[in-house]
Amino acid sequence: MSAPETLAIISAGVFFLVGLLTGTWKYLQIHASESGEAHPYVDICHRASLLYAFAAMLLAKFAELSQLPELVELIAMALILFYFATAIGTYFIHGLLQDTENQLKPPFVLGKHEIPGTLISTQMWMLIVAEIGGFLVLFYGVLLALL
C-alpha cells in the first residue's frame, strides 16, 4: 500500500471516529435542549466528519489507481486531508464555544475574539484551491490509468 493510500485510510478512520463521538455529543445536546436541537456547529461537525471519512476512502481508491509519482499523490492527498481536518476542527471549536451559528457571516468570531475578514477569506480560498486542486491531481492520475 502506498503512502497516499495509507494516509487517506488512517484519516478516514480518524474522521469516522470523530463523527461517532460528535454524534454522541450531538445526542446529549439534543436530549438536554428544550428545543430538541444541538448547537448548529455540533451538528455540522458530526455530519462533516462522517462525510469526510467516506471522502477519504474514495481518495484512497483514487490514489491506488493513479499512475502519478507517489510523491505527487502524497502532496495532493495531504493538502486535501489537511483542509478536511481543519474544517472539522473549526466546526468542533465553534460547537464547543457556541460562539456563532454562521462562521462565514460577519462579525467573524472565535470565542470572545473577533477575526479579521481577510483572514477568513484567505483561509477559505486556500481550502478551495487545495481541495479542488489536490483532487484534480489525483483524478488526472486516475484518468491516465484508465484511458
* 30-66 pLDDT tens trace: 999 999 999 999 999 999 999 999 999 999 999 999 9
Q: What is the pLDDT of residue 68?
A: 98
* 7-25 pLDDT tens trace: 999 999 999 999 999 999 9
Q: What is the pLDDT of residue 45?
A: 98
What's the CA angle centered on 125, arms 66 and 129, to 5 degrees? 15
Q: Which residues contact 38 (CB under 8 A, 6 or more apart)?
A: 25, 26, 27, 29, 30, 46, 95
Task: Kindly provide the residue ranges of all beta strands, DSSP E only, lying in 34-129, ordered along the sequence.
Answer: 109-110, 113-114
Q: What is the pLDDT of residue 138?
A: 98
Q: What is the pLDDT of residue 82?
A: 98
Residue 109 main-chain phi, psi, to 5 deg = -130, 155
Q: What is the pLDDT of residue 73?
A: 98
Q: What is the pTM of this model?
A: 0.95
Q: What is the pLDDT of residue 105?
A: 95
Ranges of each domain in the chain? 3-146
Task: Kindly provide the residue ranges of all beta strands, DSSP E only, lying in the chain, ordered along the sequence.
Answer: 109-110, 113-114
Are 15 and 88 in contact by the 8 Å Cβ rule? The answer is yes
Q: What is the pLDDT of residue 12?
A: 98
* 87-123 pLDDT tens trace: 999 999 999 999 999 999 999 999 999 999 999 999 9
Q: What is the pLDDT of residue 121?
A: 96
